[in-house]
Structure 1
């Protein structure tokens, strides 16, 4: 249920999307208490056909993929909203062959039914429990060889669609070996099943009766793009020093080379070439650096990207220009226009982009909810772009606003030309 995708327009027209399926976990009275992340294992069909020694590697790769999306592309808070996230773990992660890229907070490690139970697994679960992780035993059907795992269980999951499942007997077994564990019924599809489970002593529920799986999606950003989001935040702070800007640019070698090359092109009239990144950062200044930020977020120059970059820089420059008439900080207004345009061009949720960029609270509210003075400014300019209505109580006439926007467009054209021509 986790897949990178592109739109029908083609891979160059939009950044790859990451989609993660999620299904809620509820109490009998319908209170949401957690989510299970659902994903189709990478090449799951191939994993079933592979030799035993390769099957685990393929499954670990699939789980690594979903973990990467969860804790890199989305973030725990975005997916769980403060509630526990249940994640299917493979043997490699549980026994320490692969490192867990998260701490125990708000995460439940599910031990799948196809994982071999041996001394190494038991010792590893004991260590994970000592470190504070919550353990769930998935699809327990009373198998004798899995009984030792109940000693570490905080949650035991029962698949109610499993043939010949004796719910009352299983509940008795779990309560005997793991009296403090909660029992969770999976694939609950009707009210009669809920009542039967309640009568048997089951506390937690998951299935279509309570909620069908939903799909969350976000744009997958490359390491360079993530560096650029950090740089966007740095450039938006008027108190940031050039040394701080240089340190962020230096995190991405490709961006550093572009900045140096552009600076040397811009300094062609000087006697000395630009030889250090600090010189380049000072020479180019925040405005040109922000243009490179936008370009890197777009992922390149081809596929109409130059036109997209003009769109982004035009809105950013227009916000900056008009901000003076609204008694707003020009650099903050520029960032507001830039982030909103980048989200539009990438066709991603602006809230997700804002969270990654780490912008200030006022700017975040403006971008996500259109609130505050910067939100008002963005609304006026977006309406102007779409030709919707005329701004009231705005310190510029429609003609002045159109002239400012045209000047911003001309500036953006010249900026893009200086970068590539």
Structure 2
């Protein structure tokens, strides 16, 4: 992570009885105040900031390493849960949320979606007990208990609910050993670790929207309906795609008037490749020459792939197009690939020039920069690609790119 970036959030580890990290609580930066007044005014926004930072700006895998993220849920977020994978998130119910009928119903709905639920800052009082049948984890603030000695009794009293008990704000070895003997399953506090900043660079809204489109389009297991849905919700993208499909160069007799029809005629992979291109064109603050450079690379990679048995032309096109994503987003290519969840072969080719696709990209970049000495000519010639062929492919890529931009209206 670039240490010159700003801290977007903080994280504090949650450990099990063997002091192994099993999750992280994610905290807003600056760390929220632990008062009801602060939560009433700023709590919704703080949770929103954490969710955006963790799942969009940085990437949840990078933040938690695949472990669950414990995130504060205000009443608003309880009734309007984010559409995020339930296996990656533990909803941490703030202690101020009352066990009224509406909240209990919202908790039941949250459980149906598969979320685990933790009750935050339990202090031994009777009111929150009505929530116990609907939660999985009780977080006990040991600093707020009237007497730490009452902890074993609390756990024993409610053992019928099958709950996990988390001792939070553990600050000494003695406190850890006492909570362990009392029956706590999970632990959190300064004794183990202070909250640590997680650094990142926030994407502008325009870039974030484009990244979300690319993510859905390029999921390895994306279905036709998934791709059609994301295209149909973006009028500009749909218009430009249909304009391209209906251009004279495509040669269709009848007019194609819908995205599903276009997918049927053109094919999902090709339409996905074009969609990637048009989506990047929505980043209007980027110069046209950058977009042209990416598309030339895409067409050159696609031209070269026909010499390789078993490789896919549309994957090669995406490879060349995405090779400049770091310049489009002003963000490290490693982090962008993590957020897009691209196929492993494509990721390795982009980041390390590994595999056959990686060799194609390395050759394309060398051609672009005029570094002919860096090209593995014996290998290319063994595949039937002579220097004259490569020069012709490069000139054709330039010509095709300019034609394509003309069809798209620039």
Q: TM over 0.5: same fold?
A: yes
Deviation at 1:407, TM superposition (A): 5.4
Contact persistence 2:24–2:69 (CA under 8 A): yes
Closer, same or farther in 2 for the Cα pair 1:319/1:189, shift >3 Å?
farther
The partner residue of 2:318 within 308, 317, 335 is 335
Cα shift readout 1:143-198 (whole Å, capped 9, x = no counterpart): 343344445543222345x4676333234323323464333233445655544543
Contact persistence 1:267–1:273 (CA under 8 A): no
1:141 aligned residue: 123
Deviation at 1:248, TM superposition (A): 6.5
Aligned pairs for 1:189-228 (under 5 A) are: 191=173, 193-211=175-193, 212-213=195-196, 215=198, 226-228=212-214
Q: Secondary structure at the match of 2:121?
A: coil
The partner residue of 1:26 within 15, 22, 25 is 15
Closer, same or farther in 2 for the Cα pair 1:207/1:417, shift >3 Å?
farther
Deviation at 1:309, TM superposition (A): 0.6
Cα shift readout 1:261-287 (whole Å, capped 9, x = no counterpart): 5567x549x9x9957347988699987
Contact persistence 1:82–1:106 (CA under 8 A): yes
Contact persistence 2:299–2:317 (CA under 8 A): yes
Q: Secondary structure at the match of 1:394?
A: helix
1:372 aligned residue: 355
Instruction: Report whether the alignment pairs 1:175 with 2:159.
Output: no
Contact persistence 2:171–2:190 (CA under 8 A): yes
CA distance in 2, matches of 1:362, 1:91: 43
CA distance in 2, matches of 1:126, 1:249: 34
Show structure 1 runs of 5+ residues with no match. Answer: 1-6, 9-16
Instruction: Report whether the alignment pairs 1:258 with 2:243.
Output: no
CA distance in 2, matches of 1:128, 1:331: 40
**TM-score, normalization by structure 1:** 0.68
2:276 aligned residue: 293
Deviation at 1:254, TM superposition (A): 1.6
Moved more, 121-130 or 19-28: 121-130
Contact persistence 2:136–2:163 (CA under 8 A): yes
Show structure 2 runs of 5+ residues with no match. Answer: none
CA distance in 2, matches of 1:106, 1:228: 21
Closer, same or farther in 2 for the Cα pair 1:83/1:42, shift >3 Å?
closer
Q: Secondary structure at the match of 2:361?
A: helix
CA distance in 2, matches of 1:379, 1:141: 60
Moved more, 135-144 or 103-112: 103-112
CA RMSD of aligned residues (A): 5.1
**TM-score, normalization by structure 2:** 0.70
The partner residue of 2:380 within 386, 395, 400 is 395
Instruction: Report whether the alignment pairs 1:321 with 2:303.
Output: yes
The partner residue of 1:112 within 80, 91, 94 is 94
CA distance in 1, matches of 2:244, 2:130: 63
Closer, same or farther in 2 for the Cα pair 1:250/1:391, shift >3 Å?
same
- Give aligned pairs, total: 392
Contact persistence 1:136–1:153 (CA under 8 A): yes
Closer, same or farther in 2 for the Cα pair 1:167/1:364, shift >3 Å?
same
The partner residue of 1:305 within 275, 287, 296 is 287
Q: Secondary structure at the match of 1:395?
A: helix
1:3 aligned residue: none
Cα shift readout 1:358-384 (whole Å, capped 9, x = no counterpart): 655543443455432112322444466
